Amino acid sequence: MGLIRRLRVTQRAMERAMLGVSLRDRIRNVEIRRRTKVTDIAQRVAKLKWQWAGHIVRRKDGRWGPKVLEWQPRTVQRGYYTFDEFLNDKVEWKQPASLSSPAR
């Protein structure tokens, strides 16, 4: 079960407790919400998330937040590089240690 769903279930339980009703009373959630006049937790979380994103974008202190939000993905696919090609490019890795460095 997702976090938002668990928050909604918990909020509904708290609202029922505020009104003194139980699940057996079979009162719809819409009616409970109308009586308590409480904002839905999912809407509140979404609003706060957008406010936080706006705060991060407006920062000018050089941190990575605005850079990440403005990042554009590549339009071309990167080439691949096999391990064998890597080893062939690094010829000095294949040489024995006695040949690559002078003995002391």
End-to-end CA distance of the chain: 66
For the stretch 23-62, pLDDT in tens is 999 999 999 999 999 999 999 999 999 998 888 888 888 7
- Which residue's entry shows tokens 């554009």? 72
The C-alpha angle with vertex 77 and arms to 75 and 81, in degrees rounded to 5, equals 150
Instruction: Identify the CA nearest to 66 among candidates 75, 56, 74, 76.
Output: 56
Every domain of the chain and the residues it spans = 3-62
Greater pLDDT, 103 or 5? 5
What percent of the chain is modeled with pLDDT above 70? 82
- pLDDT value for 10: 95
Q: What are phi and psi of 60, to 5 degrees?
A: -125, 20
| CA of residue 61 relative to chain centroid, distance | 22
Q: Are 15 and 32 in contact (CB under 8 A)?
A: yes
Greater pLDDT, 96 or 80? 80
pLDDT level of residue 87 (50, 70, 90 thresholds)? confident
